[in-house]
Structure 1
Amino acid sequence: MATPLAFTGHSTHPMAAVRAAFANEQYWKDRIEAVGGPNARIDSLAINGDQVRVDMVQTIPASELPAQITAIKPDGLTIPRTEIWHGSGGTVEAYVDGAPATITGSLTVTEDGSGSTFVVDATIEVKIPLFGKKIEAAIQQHLTELLEREAEFTDNWLSSH
């Protein structure tokens, strides 16, 4: 049974501005550098009108992980992630390199009257008997923190551009 990941972030900027950032190559470069973790990178970025696909690799060093994860991945986590945006919605897929852990879900950005709202509705699944749920909970916590940093980064980036 997978663990849900539900995140809602708010921006003071309208949906059109947020979507315009997502269609800006410099935004992705700046974001991965600011919040992607050590040695994070963008593997590919394709922008075609309102369709955006970004393949990135993010990392979480072992020093930031709980013992139940470092017992399996003592060098930290490498997380390939793909976001595909079209219009005001999209999808996200990620996995933990070398571990039976996957994240899949949907992305939306909508107007909310005072700016916009960004929503991630995903599931985390770790296929390890007995410990899978504990690891899913730890991943959920770290992903929520990452999504908070990404939302804050996006709002700040838009304010300065």
Structure 2
Amino acid sequence: MQINSQQSYAATPDQVFAMMTDEAYLAACCDRFGAKERTIEVNGSTTTVKMKLPAPAQVQKFVGATMPLNQVITWGEATVDGTRSGTLQMSIDKMPVKVAGTAVMRPGGEGTEVVYTTELDVKIPLVGKKLEAEAAPVAQRALDAQQQVGRDYLANKA
């Protein structure tokens, strides 16, 4: 199942890249998602976030009360105009669930656009497609929530 998100920020691509690789921004995203626990690692242009989120009722029988979500985003080098391409991967511990796709940061919109194009895949026989349909809105909200967190972050940096 495809999940896409487009965000727009009133900042330069360099400023948005600095934000997206800042532990404070990533921590604020975790807080916005309702993470009960989190571990954040930034290694150059790669961010790794491991968080435990409250599990939706329909998946609690598989993962328990919290859902251990892992997200890794790796950004490439900037082009002359500041555009960066990257990859996004998300997984849930002990579950055959994977979100994988691309990320593009480029001049546009209010200053910079960030576009995620991903594919959600749940490999559980018989119920996989149903769980994809239930998990997709959660993954979509997680990606979309980054925009408000980012706008707040950038406003505080101004």
Q: How does 1:28-67 map to 2 (within 5 A)?
A: 28-35=26-33, 37-42=35-40, 44-47=41-44, 52-62=45-55, 65-67=56-58
SS at match of 1:98: coil
The equivalent residue for 1:149 is: 145
Q: Displacement of 1:108 after TM fit?
A: 0.9
| 1:75 counterpart = 2:65 | yes
Deviates more, 1:139-148 or 1:71-80: 71-80
Deviates more, 1:128-137 or 1:33-42: 33-42
Which amino acid in the other structure matches residue 75 of structure 1? A
Question: Where has structure 1 moved over 4 Å in runs of 4 or more?
Answer: none
Conservation of the 8 A alpha-carbon contact between 1:89 and 1:109:
yes
Distance 2:117 2:109 in 1: 21
Q: How does 1:9-158 map to 2 (within 5 A)?
A: 9-35=7-33, 37-42=35-40, 44-47=41-44, 52-62=45-55, 65-67=56-58, 69-86=59-76, 87=78, 88-158=84-154
Q: 1:18 to 1:154 in 2, by over 3 A?
A: same
Where do 5+ consecutive residues of structure 2 fail to align? Answer: 79-83
Q: Return the TM-score normalized by structure 1.
A: 0.83
Q: Displacement of 1:27 after TM fit?
A: 3.1
Distance 1:113 1:123 in 2: 24
After superposition, what is the alpha-carbon deviation per residue over 1:103-131, rounded to whole angstroms, capped at 9, x for unaligned? 11111111115322111111111111111
Which amino acid in the other structure matches residue 97 of structure 2? A
Conservation of the 8 A alpha-carbon contact between 1:25 and 1:45:
yes
Q: Displacement of 1:72 after TM fit?
A: 2.0
Cα root mean square deviation, aligned: 1.8
Q: Return the TM-score normalized by structure 2.
A: 0.85
Where do 5+ consecutive residues of structure 1 fail to align? Answer: none
Conservation of the 8 A alpha-carbon contact between 1:13 and 1:155:
no
Amino-acid identity (%):
19
